[in-house]
C-alpha cells in the first residue's frame, strides 16, 4: 500500500519515528549509529558516554556491536557506560541481575575497560541508596552528560524503571515497581513472588539531559503502548510521553511495534490510500464497528464522515462495496474445516478434495492444541479426517514442584501396593524434596525432576488428544532439543529441531498443517515452533511433490485472537461443542487453576479460550452475520 504526503500521514505523531521492516534490521541500524558515534569521538580524542538499557529489546543491538568489534575492529577503549537501572535488592552475580545481563550480552565480549562501566548497586543498605543515587548523577554531570541514551519501553509506558506517576524532572532514585512490570519479569525469576518490588533507576530528568535519545520497541505486544507514547497526551500515567518534550529523541520501531500508529492502523484517516482488497476489507469492518452498524447498513454519509470518502468515490456506490465485503466475511465461515466433500469450494476457505485429508496439528506446548483450536480439532476427527497431533516441546518448565512430589508419592504407593521394592524410588523422592526445599528462583531442576514434569505434561496431552478422538498412533511427542535446557531461557534452534519436524511431516504427508501463529506468547516458544515448521516445509518442498498440496493454517487463542479483517476461516461451535472443548482442556490438570507462567492474563486458559471464541462470534454477529455461540479463527500462511 502506497501512501502519499509523509507530513500529512504522520500528523498524529508528536515525535520522530523511524520504522524498519524487522527487529534485526532496526537493531543493526541502531548499533551502526552507536559505532559511528564512538569512532567520531575517538577520532577527536574524546570519550563516548553511553546510557545503556537491559531487557530483551537491546539484545540484538549488543550482538551487532560485538560483531562490529570482532569483525570490523570497533574498539570500546575509552567508552564510558551508565546503565539505566537495577533491581533492588539484587546481588551482582545473580542470574537476574543487570550486571550479569550486561556482562553476558556485551561487556565480556568487547575490549571495554570494566572500571568505566557503571551499573546501579543493588546490594547497598537502603539508607545508603539516596547518597549513591546523587553520586551516580554527579558522575554523569562531571563527564558532560550522556552522549547517547538507548531505551526500551515497558507495557506500563515506563522508561528505565520510571513507572506511572514519575515526574518529568525526576532524578536517579529508588522506586517501587508496578505490578504489570513485575508480572512481565516473573518468568525470569521463576514466578512473580520472587521478583523484587523495588529498583534503582535513572530518572526521566536524567534521561532528558542526554544529547541523543533512541527508544526502541519490537513486536505487536508493544504496539498499544507505543501508540500512547507517540500519539497520546503527555501524562505521568505514561512516562514515555514525556519524551515528546525533547528535541533530541527518536523512536526506532519494527513494523509490528508500529502497527498501532494511525498511519498504519487506520491510514485512511491521515491520507489518500491505494485501496487494495485487504485494506478495503479492514476499513469497512472498522467502519462497521466504529458506527455500530452491520456492514449492509453502512451509508455514504458514514463513509464520508469517517475518512473513507476516497473509497466511496473510487469504488462506489457504497452499497456495492458493502455487499462485496459482507460476502467476503460470510465466505470465511465454515463448519467443514477439512473441506466439505462434493461441494462447490470456490467460495469456501478449504478445498473439497480429497474428501478425507491428512492433517497435523502442531502444538508448541502440550496444551495449545485444545486451548486454541480444540473445537476444530474435534470437528476434524468427527468428520473422518486422518488427524495427527505433534507436541513440539515437553513443557516441563511449566509444572509446579508440588505436583512432582505428589506424583512421586503416588508412584511409591502404587509400587508398594503391588509388592515391589520402593527403596530406590524413595531415595530419589527424598533427594527431590531436599533440592526443592533449597531451590533458588529459576534454578535448573535436577534431571529426575525435569523428567517427572515432562511425564506429567505428556500424560495430560495424551488424555486430551484421546478425548478429541485420536488413536495413540496419531499422537506424537517431539521434545524438540532447543527447549530442553531446563531453563526458562531456551537454546537457539538447531538442525535437529528442523530434522525431527521434517521427518514427521514426511511420514504423514499432510494436506493440512495447523500451527500456532500466536506470536504474542510472552514466552516466545510459539514463534520459535512456528518458524521450525515453516523451515521444514520449505526444505521438503524442494524434493517432495506432496508439499505443493499442503496448506498451512495458523491458529491463535491462548494469548490473543486474529482481528476480524484478517480471519480467512472461522469455524463456528455449538454450545455442546464449546463444552467438549472445555473438557479437553480440563485434561491438562497441571495448567488448571493457577499455571506456573500465566502471562498478564489472570483468567484460566479455558476461560480465556471461551471468552475469545465467544467474542469472535459476537464480532461476526455485529457485522451482520449469523449468530453463533463461539468461533475459532484461522489465517492461511503462504510459504
Catalytic residues: 163
Strand order in the sheet with 512-516: 475-477, 386-391, 358-363, 512-516, 551-555, 630-637, 569-573
Q: Report the alpha-carbon distance of residue 311 to residue 292 in Å, rounded.
A: 20
* DSSP-derived secondary structure for 246-273: -SSEEEEEETTTTTTSHHHHSGGGTS-B
DSSP sequence for 313-339: HHH--HHHHHHHHHHHHHTTB-S-TT-
Other CB atoms within 10 A of residue 153 CB: 26
Residue 257 in contact with residue 217, Cβ under 8 Å?
yes
Distance between CA 121 and CA 125 in Å, rounded? Answer: 10
Q: How far apart are CA 291 and CA 286, in angstroms?
A: 9
CA distance 638 to 534: 10
Cα distance between residue 512 and residue 93, in whole Å: 48
SS3 assignment for 188-219: CCCCHHHCCCEEEECCHHHHHCCCCEEEEECC
The whole-angstrom separation of Cα 267 and Cα 237 is: 27
3-state secondary structure of 480: coil
CB atoms within 10 A of CB 631: 27
For residues 408 and 429, the answer to whether their CB atoms sit within 8 Å is: yes
Question: Nearest 5°: phi and psi at 435?
Answer: -65, -45
Sheet of 249-254: strands edge to edge? 17-20, 249-254, 213-217, 148-151, 48-52, 79-83, 117-118
Our CA angle for 115, 120, 125, nearest 5°, is: 115
CA-to-CA separations, 66 to 2, 33, 102, in angstroms, rounded: 37, 14, 12
Q: Is the CB of residue 258 less than 8 Å from the CB of residue 293?
A: no
**What b/e readout covers 237-271, taking b as 16+ CB neighbours within 10 angstroms?**
ebbbbbbbeeeebbbbbbbbbbbbbbbbebbbbbb
CA 596 to chain centre: 17
Cα(612)–Cα(618) distance, rounded to whole angstroms?
A: 10
Q: What are the C-alpha distances in Å from 302 to residues 56, 93, 262?
A: 43, 61, 19
DSSP secondary structure letter of residue 244: G
Closest CA to 332 of 620, 554, 576: 620
Amino acid at each position: 500500500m502506497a501512501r502519499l504526503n509523509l507530513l500529512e500521514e504522520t500528523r498524529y505523531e508528536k515525535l520522530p519515528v523511524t520504522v524498519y521492516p524487522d527487529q534485526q534490521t532496526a537493531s543493526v541500524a541502531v548499533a551502526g549509529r552507536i559505532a559511528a558515534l564512538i569512532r567520531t569521538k575517538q577520532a577527536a580524542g574524546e570519550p563516548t558516554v553511553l546510557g545503556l538499557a537491559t531487557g530483551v529489546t537491546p539484545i540484538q543491538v549488543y550482538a551487532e556491536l560485538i560483531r562490529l568489534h570482532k569483525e570490523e575492529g570497533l574498539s570500546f577503549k575509552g567508552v564510558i557506560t551508565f546503565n539505566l537501572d537495577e533491581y533492588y535488592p539484587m546481588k551482582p552475580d545473580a542470574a537476574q541481575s543487570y550486571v550479569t545481563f550486561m556482562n553476558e550480552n556485551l561487556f565480556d565480549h568487547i575490549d571495554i575497560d570494566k572500571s568505566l562501566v557503571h551499573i546501579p548497586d543493588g546490594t547497598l543498605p537502603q539508607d545508603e541508596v539516596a547518597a549513591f543515587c546523587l553520586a551516580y548523577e554527579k558522575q554523569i554531570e562531571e563527564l558532560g552528560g550522556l552522549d547517547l541514551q538507548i531505551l526500551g519501553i515497558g507495557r506500563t509506558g515506563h522508561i528505565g524503571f520510571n513507572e506511572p506517576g514519575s515526574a518529568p524532572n525526576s532524578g536517579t532514585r529508588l522506586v517501587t515497581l508496578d505490578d504489570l512490570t513485575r508480572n512481565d519479569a516473573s518468568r525470569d525469576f521463576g514466578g512473580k513472588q520472587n521478583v523484587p518490588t523495588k529498583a534503582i533507576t535513572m530518572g526521566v530528568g536524567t534521561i532528558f539531559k542526554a544529547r541523543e535519545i533512541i527508544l526502541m520497541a519490537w513486536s505487536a505486544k508493544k504496539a498499544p503502548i507505543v501508540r500512547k507514547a507517540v500519539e497520546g497526551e503527555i501524562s505521568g500515567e505514561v512516562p514515555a510521553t514525556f519524551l515528546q518534550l525533547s528535541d533530541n529523541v527518536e523512536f526506532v520501531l519494527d513494523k509490528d511495534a508500529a502497527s498501532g500508529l494511525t498511519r498504519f492502523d487506520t491510514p485512511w484517516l491521515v491520507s489518500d490510500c491505494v485501496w487494495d482488497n485487504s485494506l478495503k476489507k479492514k476499513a469497512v469492518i472498522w467502519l462497521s464497528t466504529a458506527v455500530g452498524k452491520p456492514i449492509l447498513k453502512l451509508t455514504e454519509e458514514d463513509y464520508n464522515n469517517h475518512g473513507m470518502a476516497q473509497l466511496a468515490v473510487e469504488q462506489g456506490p457504497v452499497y456495492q462495496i458493502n455487499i462485496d465485503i459482507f460476502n467476503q466475511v460470510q465466505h470465511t465461515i465454515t463448519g467443514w474445516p477439512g473441506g466439505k466433500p462434493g461441494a462447490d469450494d470456490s467460495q469456501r476457505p478449504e478445498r473439497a478434495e480429497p474428501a478425507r485429508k491428512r492433517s497435523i496439528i502442531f502444538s508448541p506446548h502440550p496444551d495449545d492444541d485444545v486451548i486454541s483450536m480444540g473445537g476444530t480439532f474435534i470437528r476434524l476427527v468427527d468428520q473422518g479426517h486422518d488427524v495427527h497431533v505433534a507436541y513440539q516441546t515437553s513443557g516441563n518448565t511449566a509444572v509446579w514442584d508440588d505436583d512432582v512430589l505428589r506424583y512421586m508419592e503416588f508412584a511409591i504407593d502404587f509400587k508398594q501396593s503391588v509388592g515391589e521394592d520402593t527403596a530406590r524410588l524413595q531415595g530419589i523422592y527424598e533427594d527431590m524434596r531436599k533440592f526443592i526445599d533449597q531451590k533458588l528462583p529459576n534454578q535448573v531442576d535436577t534431571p529426575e525432576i525435569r523428567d517427572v514434569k515432562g511425564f506429567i505434561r505428556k500424560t495430560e496431552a495424551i488424555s486430551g488428544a484421546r478425548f478429541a478422538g485420536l488413536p495413540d498412533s496419531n499422537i506424537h511427542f517431539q521434545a524438540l532439543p532447543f527447549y530442553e535446557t531446563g531453563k526458562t531461557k531456551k537454546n537457539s534452534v538447531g538442525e535437529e529441531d528442523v530434522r525431527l519436524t521434517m521427518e514427521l511431516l514426511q511420514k504423514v504427508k499432510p494436506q493440512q498443517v495447523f500451527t500456532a501463529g500466536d506470536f504474542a506468547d510472552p514466552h516466545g516458544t510459539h514463534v520459535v515452533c512456528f518458524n521450525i515448521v515453516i523451515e521444514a516445509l520449505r526444505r521438503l518442498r524442494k524434493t517432495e511433490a506432496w508439499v505443493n498440496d499442503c496448506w498451512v493454517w495458523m491458529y491463535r487463542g491462548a494469548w490473543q485472537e486474529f482481528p476480524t479483517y484478517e480471519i480467512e476461516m472461522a469455524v463456528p461451535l455449538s454450545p455442546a461443542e464449546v463444552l467438549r472443548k472445555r473438557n479437553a482442556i480440563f485434561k491438562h490438570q497441571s495448567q488448571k487453576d493457577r499455571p506456573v507462567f500465566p502471562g498478564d492474563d489472570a483468567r484460566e486458559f479455558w476461560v480465556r479460550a471461551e471468552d475469545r471464541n465467544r467474542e469472535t462470534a459476537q464480532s461476526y454477529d455485529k457485522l451482520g452475520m449469523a449468530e453463533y455461540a463461539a468461533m475459532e479463527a484461522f489465517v492461511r500462511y503462504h510459504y
